[in-house]
Structures are given as structure tokens and as C-alpha cells.
Structure 1
Amino acid sequence: MNFTSPFSLAIVAIVALSLLGAPIGLAMIAGSVLYLYMKGMDVGAAAEQLLNGTYSSFLLLAIPLFILAATFMSTGSVMDRLLRFCNAIVGRFPGGLAQVNVLQSVVFASMSGSALADAAGSGKVMQVMMTREGKYTPAFAAALSAVSSVIGPILPPSIPMVLYALVSGTSIGYLFIGGVLPGLLLGAVQMVLIWLQAKRRGFPVEERVPLSEMPRITKEAFPALMLPVILLGCLYSGITTPTEAAGVAAAYALLISAGLYRSMRWTDIYDSLLSSAKMSISIGMLIAGALVFNYVITSENIPTHLSGVLKGMEMTPLAFLLLVNLILLLLGAFLEGSTIILIILPVLLPTAVALGIDPVHFGVMAVLNIMIGLVTPPYGLLLFMMMKIADVSFSELMAEVWPYLLVMLGALALVTFWPGMVLWLPRMAGYTG
């Protein structure tokens, strides 16, 4: 490799700017402009790629709308009603509140689509609930909130899968439904581990909710629980496009939060719009940088070169998937997930398709892998977020995270080796891949 080539210097510029604190999206744009300048190409190509990529994809509008829907649903009393519903179902089991933490992540997955948003919102609430009266240690509560937040982006709607659909051209509807069983598997293995730990460590059981109370609790939570049903119903009935379905979800979230539950004031709506706009701009800048840098990668013909190298190694599809898992796990421990999806997966996808690997299976597996990277040391972003929220040390947190990391890697192995877990529901819905 020539370390003085334009491409190498572009990489150095991106890394250096990132280490200096520049947003990764801006760093990628700056590195790409440097590459174009050194190659004697028109630097205006960077703006052209940015504008063409962002304005030609109607799917991109789904991201801010999903974020807005999640913000509306996490405001006011909606979260309280859903937590009461989760507690009524699993609070009676060993490790009751810990079980609630996992179940609420499954439920809130239909509203956030982002692991970091889940941890910052409901994860913060669960941290307070679990540590109240010394029921659980702060380190255990923080570790569980971190690992349960991983479930959110696997189940629909999922912002990482929207990004994967953007770079791969795969149907967002089939990606959403393909993530259902892997997401539920992830929740199941975590809840089984909690049950085993509860027996060994004497975790408390919550007060049993009388069966006579269940209809009332379910009725209160029912409108919020209908959000994923409406979303998926719009998608698979063909009534709406994915972006229009995101708009319906946002409108429905506002309707039940402000109209039905009456838990939002005008100031809350304004704050929700402002918060959603800030988060959308952050993701938008990352997408813009990735679009420009992908042009550089294509100009260097890197996907073709990599595909040729891997074909020369005569890898089987399973061996390739294992290699991809290893690469993504290592990168996920250092990089933000959206960056990996937008930059790394487009390079790996052509080889996967050439080996006969289904793009829906590949995408769900990759997103699951990248989300596990958020709780993988040394730089998993969820670890640092929960350290700050819970005020615990890294060593205390990791001591509680390791068992969950191992069972999640087991779930990832099952998803990797058994494509049917991902593809069964999409095929039931008409997918022919």
C-alpha cells in the first residue's frame, strides 16, 4: 500500500480530524475533498454526490419521521403506562424489574429504532427504578440497560436498517420483518440469563399484579402498543411507502400523546420537534459524509478489488459470513454503527451477493452484529453512556456486561448459521429471495 497516495492521505485526514473532535461526517467530507484535489478531479464532485444522494432518496425522509414518532411517544405519560404494562406481565418472575427492563426495550423498540435513544430515554428511567431501595446494584442496572437497548434497532422500525436499505437497495419492509425473530431471540436469551442470575444472586420478585387489574392496565397501554401494528400494517398492506408509514407513525404518536393521553403541552411539542431536528441533523451530516466518501471508494475501485481478493481465497459463504462477523465486531468496538453501515457494508455487500448470500439475511445479521458492538469494550458507545448515567466505573460495568455479551454472541451465531430465522417471516409475507 502506498502511504503517500491520495486515498491514504484522505484516510489519514479523516482519522486526524475525528481524533481532534470534528464530527465524523464533516471529517469524511474534508478527506474526500482532499482526495479529489490531489487526484486533479473536480472538487465540486463532492457537492454533486452529496446533493444527488440526499435529494434523490425519498427513503431518507423516514429517518427524521421515525425519530419524531419516538420523541412524541417518550414524552409524558406514555412511558409510564407501558412500564406498568411490562411490570404486570413479567414483574412476578425472578428478577422482576430486570425482566421488565428487557421487555420494555422490546416494547419501546417500536418507537425509537435507536439503541442510544432507548438507553438515554427508558434506560435512564429503569436505572432509577432498579436501584431504588437497593434492589439492584447500580453497575448491574446500568449493564442491563445497555445490553437491552441493543434490542431496539433489530426490531421494526429500525434506523440502522433504513440506512442499510439506502446503501443496498434492499426492501425496507422485508428488512423490518426479517429483524423480528432475531430481535425477540435477543430478548429471550437475556431474560433467561436474568432468571438464572436471579436464582443464584437472590434478585427480588416484584409484587404480583392481580389478574383483575390486567384488563385496565392493558387498556391504558393499548393505544401505544398499537403503533407497531399500524406501522407494519401500512407497510405490508401496500397502503403506504416506508416514508409515508413513518409519517403515519409520527402523526399517530402525536395523536395519542397529546390528544388521547393529554400528556403533552405546546412546549412539549416544541421541545420534541427541536430534539428530533437536532438528532436528524446529526444523522444527516453522517449520511452526507458517507455519500461523498463512498464516491471516493468507488473511484478507487475498492469493492471490486476486495471482491477479487476474497474470491481468490475461495471462501465458502459460511466462511465469508464468519469473517464479516469478526470484522464488524472489531469495528463496532471502535466506530459508531451508522458509519460502519454507510461505509463498510457497501464494500462487503457485492461479495456477499456473489457468494449467493441473501441481502436481507446479510443486512439483519450485520445490524445485529454492529449493535452488539455498542456494548463491546473498549469503546462501545452504550457502555460510556450508561457509565455516565449510573456513575459507575468501567470495570464495575464490564463485570456485569460479560455474561450478556456472551449470550448475545450465541444469538448472533444462530442468526448467522441459520438464515431461515431471518427469512422465514419475509417469505411468509411474499419475499422471493
Structure 2
Amino acid sequence: MNLASPFSITVVVITVLAFMGLPIGLSMISGSILYLWLAGADMGIVAEQFLNGMYSNYVILAVPLFILAAEFMNVGSMTERLLKFCNVLVGRFRGGLAQVNIVQSIIFAGMSGSAIADAAGSGKMMQSMMTRDGRYTPSFAAALTAVTAVVGPIIPPSIPMIIYSLVSDASIGYLFLAGMVPGLLMAVLQMVQVVITARRKNFPVEEPVPLREIPGITVRAFPALMMPVVLLGCIYSGVTTPTEAAAIAAAYALIISVVLYRSISLKDFYGSLAASAKSTASIGMLIAGALVFNYVVTIENIPHSIRVLLTGWELSPAGFLILVNVTLLVLGCLLEGTAILLIIVPVFIPTAQALGIDLVHFGVVVVVNIMLGLVTPPYGLLLFIVANISGAPIKSIIVDTGPFLFWMVVCLIFITFVPDSVLWLPRLLGYQG
């Protein structure tokens, strides 16, 4: 590589700006604009190409809508009612409150599509419940909340899968279906680890919910429980697109919270809109930067060069998937997941296609890798979020995360080398891949 070439200078500038503390999205935009200037490209024509390409791409609209739905759930009483229902299901066993944490993540996975939203919303409430009266250590409660939040974006809907669909053109509907089995498998393995830890550390047994209260708790939680049914039913019945379904999810969460539960005030409504706007702006800036930088990468023909390089290594599909897993797991320790999806993953997609790897299967493997990165030190964004909420030392949280991380890697290996575990449900509903 010519170190004085425009592309080399661009990479150096982006790296330096990022290390100086500039958000990665702005760093990529700045570096990419510098590249276009050095390469003598017409900025007006490039901007027009971007806008023409984005006008017909409605999939990105699903991201702010799912974020808004999660905000409405968190400020309303939907979260509290669902946690009580989860307690009815598994709260009576040893370590029952820890099992409740896992079950609530499975249920909330069908609503928000965001691991951070789950950890900061229902996860925050779960940490408070688990550490009350010293029943669980703050570090274990925080670690469990982090690893269970990872399940959210694997089970549909999923914001990372929406972004993957953007860069790969894979079907969002089939990606959502493909994430169902891996997400449930990961949750089951986490529950197994809780059983093992509960016996070893003699976790408390929660007081069982009286039988006479169970019907009332179920009825009060029923409208909230119907949200995933409405959301996924709209998508898979063909009535709506995933973006339209996201809008319905946000509207449903608002209507249930305002009309039925009467738990959202005007102040809460405004706060939800403001919080959603902030999150959307952050993600939108990252997407904008990555799209501009990917344009630069395409001009430089980087994906083709990497494809030629990997072809020269004569990797089998299994060998390529191992390489991708190792690469993404390492990068996940250092980079933010959305940046990996938008910058690194597009480089691998042409090679995956050339090797005959199904892009829906590949997408699920990629998303699971990126979710693991959220709980992998030293970056581990979720680890820092739960540490901030719990006040527990990050070192203790990492230690308690270890056993769960082991099972999650086992799940990743399984879905990587048994594609049918990912694809059988989409094929059952008509996928031809």
C-alpha cells in the first residue's frame, strides 16, 4: 500500500481523530471528505448519488421507531407488569429472581430490538430487585443483566439485523426468523448456568406468588404481552413491512400505556421523544459516516482485493467462518458494534457469497458475534452501562460474566457450523436460501 495515497491518508486521519476523542461517525465523515478532495471527486455528484440511493431505502426508519417503542415501554408501567408476570413463571425456584431476569429479556426481546434499551430499562429494575436486602451481590446482578440484554437483538425484532440488512440486502423478515432459535438457545444456556451457580452459591428461593393472584397478574400483563404478537404478526402475515411494523409497535406501546394503563404523562411523553431523538441522532451520525466511508472503500475496490486475498488462501466455507468469528470477536473487544456492522462486515460479504454461504445465516452469525462484543472486555459497552447502574467494580462484573460468556461462545460455535439450526425456521415459512 502506498502510504502517501489518498486512502492511506484517510485511514490515518480517521484513526487519529477517533483517538483524539471525536465520535467515530464524525471521524469517518471528516476523513472521507478529505479523501474525496484529495482524489479530485465532484462533491456535488457524490452527494446526489447518496441522496438518490437513500430516498427509496425506508429500512433505516425502523431504527428510531423501535427505539421510541422501547422508551414508551420504559416510562410506562408495561415493564413493571411484565416483570411481575415473569416472576409468576420462574420466580419460585432457587435463584428464581435471576431466572426472572433471563425470562424478561426473552419477552422484551420481542419489543425493543436493542440490548442497551433492555439493560437500561427493565435491566435497571431487575438489578434493583436482585440486590435488595443483599439477596444477590451487585456484581452478579449487573453481570446477569448485561448477558441477558444480549439476547434482545438476536430474537426479533433486532436493530443490528436491520443495519446488517442495509449493507447486505438480505431479507429483514427472514433475518428476524433466523434469529429466533439462536436467541432462545442462548437464553436456555444462561438459565442452565444460573441453576449451576444457584446451587453452588446457595441463592435464595423467592416467596411463591399465591395462586389466587396469578390470574390478576396475567390479565394485567396481557396487553403488554401481546406487543410481540402484534409486531411479528404484522411482519410475517405480509400486512406490513418491518418499518411499518416498527411504527405500529411504537403506537401500540403508547396507546396501551396512555389509554389502558394510564401511566404516561405529557412530561413522560416529551422525555421519551427527546431520549429517542438523542439515541437516533447518535446512530444516524454513525450510519452516515459509515456510508460515506464505504463509498470510499468501494472506489478503492477494497472488498474485491480482500476477496482475491482470501481466495488465494483457498479457505473453505468453514475456514472462512472461523476467520470471521475470530476477527469479529477481537474487534468486538475494541470497537462499537454498529461501527463493525457498517465498516468491517461489508468487506466480508462478497467473499461469503463467493463461497456459497447463505447471507441470512451469515448475518445471524455476525450479529451474535457483535452482541458478544458488548459484554467482552476491555470495551464491553454493556459492562460499563450496568457498572454505572449498579456501582459494582467493573473487575468483579467481568469475573461474574465469565461463565455466561463461555456458554454464549458455545452457542456461537453451534450456529456457525450447524446452519440448519438458523435456517430451518425461515425455510419453514418459505425462504429459498
Question: Once the two structures are aligned, what percentage of the paired residues are identical?
Answer: 62
Aligned to 1:299: 299
Contact 1:91 1:99 in 2 (8 A): yes
How far apart, in 2, do the equivalents of 1:333 and 1:189 lie? Answer: 22
Aligned to 1:399: 399
Aligned CA distance change for structure 1 residues 148 and 86 (closer, same or farther; 3 Å): same
Aligned to 2:169: 169
Aligned to 1:100: 100
Contact 1:178 1:422 in 2 (8 A): yes
How big is the shift at 1:384? Answer: 1.4
Q: Deviation digits for residues 362-389 of structure 1, max 9, x if unmatched?
A: 0011001100011111111111112222
- The residue correspondences of 1:56-205 to structure 2 (distance < 5 A) are 56-205=56-205
Aligned to 1:24: 24
Q: Normalising by structure 1, what TM-score?
A: 0.97
How big is the shift at 1:54? Answer: 3.6
Give the letter for the 1:402 counterpart: G
Contact 2:290 2:343 in 1 (8 A): yes
How big is the shift at 1:49? Answer: 4.9
How far apart, in 2, do the equivalents of 1:202 and 1:49 lie? Answer: 62
Contact 2:174 2:360 in 1 (8 A): yes
SS of aligned partner of 2:346: helix
Give the letter for the 1:399 counterpart: V
- The residue correspondences of 1:47-62 to structure 2 (distance < 5 A) are 47-62=47-62
Select between 249-258 and 45-54 the one with higher mean Cα deviation: 45-54
- The residue correspondences of 1:9-20 to structure 2 (distance < 5 A) are 9-20=9-20
Give the letter for the 1:324 counterpart: V
Contact 1:29 1:46 in 2 (8 A): no
Aligned to 1:327: 327
Aligned to 2:38: 38
How big is the shift at 1:21? Answer: 1.9
How far apart, in 2, do the equivalents of 1:205 and 1:72 lie? Answer: 32
How big is the shift at 1:43? Answer: 3.4
- The residue correspondences of 1:231-242 to structure 2 (distance < 5 A) are 231-242=231-242
Contact 2:59 2:166 in 1 (8 A): yes
Aligned to 1:377: 377
How far apart, in 1, do the equivalents of 2:49 and 2:121 lie? Answer: 35
Give the letter for the 1:383 counterpart: L
Give the letter for the 2:66 counterpart: F
Contact 1:91 1:206 in 2 (8 A): yes
How far apart, in 1, do the equivalents of 2:43 and 2:391 lie? Answer: 46
Is residue 344 of structure 2 the alignment partner of residue 344 of structure 1? yes
Contact 1:94 1:205 in 2 (8 A): yes
How far apart, in 2, do the equivalents of 1:127 and 1:238 lie? Answer: 38
Is residue 229 of structure 2 the alignment partner of residue 229 of structure 1? yes
Select between 51-60 and 262-271 the one with higher mean Cα deviation: 51-60
Aligned CA distance change for structure 1 residues 53 and 22 (closer, same or farther; 3 Å): farther
How far apart, in 1, do the equivalents of 2:346 and 2:279 lie? Answer: 24
Contact 2:155 2:179 in 1 (8 A): yes
Contact 2:178 2:361 in 1 (8 A): yes
How far apart, in 2, do the equivalents of 1:54 and 1:14 lie? Answer: 24
Give the letter for the 2:354 counterpart: A
How far apart, in 1, do the equivalents of 2:360 and 2:141 lie? Answer: 34
How far apart, in 2, do the equivalents of 1:216 and 1:5 lie? Answer: 68
How far apart, in 1, do the equivalents of 2:156 and 2:52 lie? Answer: 28
Give the letter for the 1:138 counterpart: P
SS of aligned partner of 1:111: coil
Q: Normalising by structure 2, what TM-score?
A: 0.97
How big is the shift at 1:82? Answer: 0.4
Q: Which runs of 5+ in 2 are unaligned?
A: none
Aligned to 2:409: 409
SS of aligned partner of 1:92: coil
How big is the shift at 1:51? Answer: 2.8
How big is the shift at 1:121? Answer: 1.3
How big is the shift at 1:15? Answer: 1.6
Contact 2:163 2:341 in 1 (8 A): yes
Give the letter for the 1:354 counterpart: A
Give the letter for the 1:414 counterpart: F
How big is the shift at 1:50? Answer: 4.3
Contact 1:49 1:292 in 2 (8 A): no
Alpha-carbon RMSD across the aligned residues, in angstroms, is 1.3
Give the letter for the 2:71 counterpart: T
Q: Which runs of 5+ in 1 are unaligned?
A: none
May I ask how many residue pairs the two structures share in their alignment? 433
Q: Deviation digits for residues 67-118 of structure 1, max 9, x if unmatched?
A: 1111111122111100000111111122111111111111111222111111
